[in-house]
Structure 1
Amino acid sequence: MLGGGFKAERLRVNLRLVINRLKLLEKKKTELAQKARKEIADYLSSGKDERARIRVEHIIREDYLVEAMEILELYCDLLLTRFGLIQSMKELDPGLQEAVSTLIWAAPRLQSEVTELKTVSDQLCAKYSKEYGKLCRTNQIGTVNDRLMHKLSVEAPPKILVERYLIEIAKNYNVPYEPDAMVRPEVCPGEEADLIDVDADRKNGGGGGGGGFSAPPAAAMPMPMHMPMPMHMPAPFNYPPPKGAEPFSPPVGTYDNFQHHMGGGQPPQLPTSPPTYESVSD
């Protein structure tokens, strides 16, 4: 696949030139986009909504272009980092397929702004054959970056994106703006709140972004569970005392003197002297 006319040093120099040119263009377009946003805010404040929408489409395309340039800058940096593989290998390294094919695909679309990009594309085609270059320009091999193709597409930006830009610009410059009612039905349920709650947040003094937190309705609040009452434990069964007997409940840890119920509570005294025996008279 090695083709004639490939010059490694020329490719290296132009890759660096492309990176420098892309950085300058990104900075310039970003500054112009900021100024254009102020102009759109003036259109909204004066009630020229349709003119503001047309201007926003241009800003969206410029933002897309800046993102595409950032991707190309990344790929150029990747080729410079792995330039040794380009010089030493005849076949294209699998890790460089997307970068090489994307640069070749983007060259005819951006060569009016980045002239060095055409030289990079020509050198890559000289390295990996003109047939490979044709396949990359039509993306028949399917290795061109999908995101970059979307950013450089010629399709008009979706209406919902235009409305989101207008809403954000109106917020940043404190300009009242009512989103287009015809666009709202196209919004997904998760995105609808962003468009509807913009004015409500401004009137209520809320911050931007989202509709804020709101408490759920009372019907949706879960009711607390009733705690079960403690179970009543039955008292232990006591047998009744026998008839005529008094209940015996001495205090714990005390001992009472033994009382004999026949002797007045004291035992009989022992005699101190032996008994005397008297004769029985006739």
Structure 2
Amino acid sequence: MSSLKKSVMGIFDRWKASTCKANLQLAGKRCTLQRNKVIKSQRVAEREIAEMLRQGREEKARIKAEQLIANQKMESAYDILETHCELLYTRIQYIDQSKECPPDLICPVATLIYAEKRLTVPEMANCVRQFELKYGRTWCQQHTDNSSQDVAPKLVGLLTISPPSETMVLDALEEIANKFEVEWERPPTIEEKLATAPGALNVSSFPPFPMPSTPPSVTQHPQQVSPSASEPTVLPETASSPDKDNSGFVPNPEADEIDFEDLEKEEESISKP
């Protein structure tokens, strides 16, 4: 089929409840098949991990355990989608008669639209196409990236690509070791090693700090009021001694012994020719 023919057919496409109902049923069955396939692969992976632990190949067992955790998330995701497909399948007449999406079905429809771009389920893509014809592409686009926040939060977490924590990996290895009766000692995590390292600060070992029963009293000091600009500043008066001359002149004790009459006679003798 040429691209021109597909575009022409897309223009004249209309919402059909029967087409959406058939694809919802097929999508639900596809999710069931995918979930069963994941469960079988998990059983094989568990045996391989148990054999790796028995042989002491712990590093490879850890890598295999990360893949096992990812498959467990996919199993739960397919289970949620299967439930939503069955719900929409039974409510297809209600959807067909409503002009807008019913409030109690917004989450299932948004969840299918969100998962369609992240999983390989062809029948689910056909369902999303029908919802676009029913409610518009703009309405469906807001659920593709979950900007509407209407997608099931659990499914968003399951389909988020992120490596599992070290604790989750060790929990999976410990569960498999107990299931297949493998003698394996669980190693401490990095956080546990840092907490028990010499010189590590253990906050829990400190005694509790005693809290005062009553708040401490605060001594209030009188505030020193600075003189305002309009009032003149008066300096304190200092007591002056009556015998002390404040002019800065220092008397010469030898000046009291000079005879002024002798000085006058000497001046007269000098002035005579």
TM-score (norm 2): 0.64
Q: Is the 8 A contact 1:11 1:123 kept in 2?
A: yes
**Which string of whole-angstrom CA distances, capped at 9 and with x for unpartnered residues, describes residues 182-236 of structure 1?**
25639xxxxxxxxxxxxxxxxxxxxxxxxxxxxxxxxxxxxxxxxxxxxxxxxxx
Alignment of 1:20-35 (within 5 A): 20-35=29-44
Report the residue type matching 1:69 in the other structure. Y
Q: Distance in 2 between matches of 1:14 and 1:52?
A: 40
The 1:154–1:19 alpha-carbon spacing in structure 2 relative to 1, beyond 3 Å, is: same
Q: Which residue of 2 aligns with 1:15?
A: 24
Equivalent position to 1:61, from 63, 70, 74: 70
CA distance in 2, matches of 1:50, 1:11: 47
SS in structure 2 of the partner of residue 75 of structure 1: helix
Q: State the alpha-carbon separation in 2 of the partners of residues 35 and 12 from structure 1.
A: 36
Q: Distance in 1 between matches of 2:88 and 2:158?
A: 22
Instruction: Give the whole-Å Cα distance in 1 for the aligned partners of 2:44 and 2:88.
Output: 35
Unaligned runs of 5+ in 2: 1-11, 194-273
Cα deviation per residue 1:135-169 (whole Å; 9 max; x = unaligned)? 00011111001100111111111211111100000
Give the number of equivalent residue pairs.
182
Structure 1 contact 105–137 (Cα < 8 Å) conserved: yes
The alignment partner of 2:65 has SS state of helix
AA aligned to 1:26 is R
The yes-or-no answer on 1:148 pairing with 2:141 is no
Question: Which has the larger share of helix?
Answer: 2
Percent of aligned pairs sharing the same letter: 32
The secondary structure found in structure 2 opposite 1:62 is: helix
Give the aligned partner of residue 109 of structure 2. Answer: 100
- What's 1:268 paired with? none
* 1:118 maps to amino acid: A
Deviation for aligned residue 1:10 = 1.0
Matched letter for residue 38 of structure 1: R
> TM-score scaled by structure 1?
0.62
Superposition CA RMSD, Å: 1.5
Instruction: Find runs of 4+ consecutive structure 1 residues off by over 2 angstroms.
Output: 182-186
Partners of 1:183 and 1:102 in 2: how far apart? 37
Q: 1:61 to 1:34 in 2, by over 3 A?
A: same
**Is 2:185 aligned against 1:181?**
no
Please say if residues 4 and 127 of structure 1, whose CA atoms lie closer than 8 Å, have aligned partners that are also in contact.
no
**Structure 1 unmatched ranges of 5 or more:** 187-282
